[in-house]
């Protein structure tokens, strides 16, 4: 009897520990991907302002930020771990329900961010503008389908 | 009299607007640098586990994460804007009081992260280990001096 109680107690302890670990993993993953997207947004802002002519076009600065975004664009995916559709997140369950579509969106993000980094090396706003537009559409497309927008 | 009241009212409105704008800037800057550091931490974790032998050494994966960290390491500085020592932050006022020391720390972070990315290309843990140790010390040095540690 004692042994059985002990085994049940241990099983419960192990289950609780693994549930706690999973909860931490989920929180860390959510915080991670939000940090990545926020860093993308921070760098996207001045580029958007240059494209719209709200601030002067600085080709070197634009190119530097485009390079950063090209690296960042490859990072969010690993933060969308199984079970991380709950908690402090705007991620919609559709991400995990339509994983192939979501992955295709992530691929498009990486591809179009790389294309922008390439275009930015031209230093020519006429070359940059349409590529920047494509990247913006890619962001919006995924936000519409997979994110709770404010 | 009406005119004077109007001018005072307008001045107050402009002051309030600029204070609000500054508050938003500060919040955005804090959130930005925290996102960057968190993304560094996320990528640092698996590298540290490999260095300590807690998980198997995967040279390609290590190198990929080291490359990411080398890019990220250059980013936090622009988030430490004037006045962003208040609010939801662990940044200590010493950052702005000893700006030269802090900037030297940021330079060291970028330099040592770049050195790790180089070392990682060797695929040799014996080459990587001391360079990783240097980067870890650089993190700790700035945290000790400039961050409210838990």
**Residue A130 in 3-state DSSP?**
helix
pLDDT value for B20 = 60
Q: pLDDT exceeding 70 applies to what percent of chain A? A: 85
Q: Above 80 in pLDDT, residue B150?
A: no
- pLDDT single digits (tens) B113-142: 999 999 999 999 999 999 999 999 999 999
Asked if B148 and B86 touch (Cβ cutoff 8 Å), the reply is no
- Close Cβ partners of A68 (under 8 Å, ≥ 6 residues apart): A39, A43, B71, B75
* pLDDT score for B23: 76
The predicted pLDDT at position B22 comes to 74
- For residues A95-103, average pLDDT: 96
Domain spans of chain B, in order of start: 26-146
CATH architecture observed for domain A2-146 = Up-down Bundle (1.20)
Residues of chain A found within 8 Å of residue B75, distances taken between Cβ atoms: 39, 68
Which of A134, A70, A80, A71 has the alpha carbon at shortest distance from A103? A80
Q: Say whether B13 counts as a known binding-site residue.
A: no
Instruction: Flag if B71 and A68 touch (Cβ within 8 Å).
Output: yes
Mean pLDDT of chain B: 91
Decide if B38 and A42 are in contact by the 8 Å CB cutoff: no
At residue A147, the 3 state secondary structure works out as strand
User: Quick one: pLDDT at residue A74?
Assistant: 98
Report the candidate in A144, A122, A145 with the shortest Cα–Cα distance to residue A132. Answer: A122
Ordered alpha helix ranges (H), A73-98 = 94-97
The CA–CA distances, whole Å, from B93 to A113, B30, B82, B137 equal 36, 14, 10, 22
Tell me: pLDDT of A140 over 90.
yes
Which position has the higher pLDDT, A10 or B55?
B55
Q: Class of the B26-146 domain?
A: mainly alpha
pLDDT at B3 exceeding the cut of 80 = no
Place A78 in a pLDDT band, splitting at 50, 70 and 90. Answer: very high
Q: What is the mean pLDDT of chain A?
A: 91
A and B: number of Cβ contacts within 8 A: 37
Per-residue DSSP letter, B87? S
pLDDT of residue A20: 59
Could you tell me which residues of chain B have a Cβ less than 8 Å from any Cβ in chain A? 28, 31-32, 34-36, 38-39, 42, 67-68, 71-72, 75, 79
Residue that is written with structure tokens 């302890």 in the block: A13
- Rounded CA gap, A79 and A34, in Å? 9
Cross-chain Cβ contact A38/B42 below 8 Å? no
Report d(CA B128, CA B119) in Å as an integer: 5
Axis crossing angle, helix A99-120 with helix A125-146, rounded to the nearest 10:
160
| A126 vs A19: which has the higher pLDDT | A126
Q: What pLDDT shows up at residue B12?
A: 60
Mean pLDDT within B95-119: 97
């Amino acid at each position: 009897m004692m042994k059985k109680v002990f085994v049940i107690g241990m099983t419960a302890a192990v289950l609780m520990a693994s549930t706690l670990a999973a909860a931490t993993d989920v929180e860390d993953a959510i915080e991670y991907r939000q940090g990545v997207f926020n860093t993308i947004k921070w760098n996207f802002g001045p580029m958007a302002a240059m494209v719209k002519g709200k601030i002067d076009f600085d080709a070197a600065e634009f190119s530097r930020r485009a390079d950063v975004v090209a690296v960042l664009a490859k990072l969010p995916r690993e933060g969308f771990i199984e079970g991380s559709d709950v908690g402090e997140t705007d991620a919609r369950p559709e991400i995990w329900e339509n994983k192939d579509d979501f992955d295709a969106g992530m691929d498009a993000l990486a591809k179009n961010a790389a294309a922008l980094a390439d275009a930015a090396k031209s230093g020519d706003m006429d070359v940059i503008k349409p590529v920047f537009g494509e990247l913006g559409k890619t962001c919006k497309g995924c936000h519409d389908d997979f994110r709770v927008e404010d």
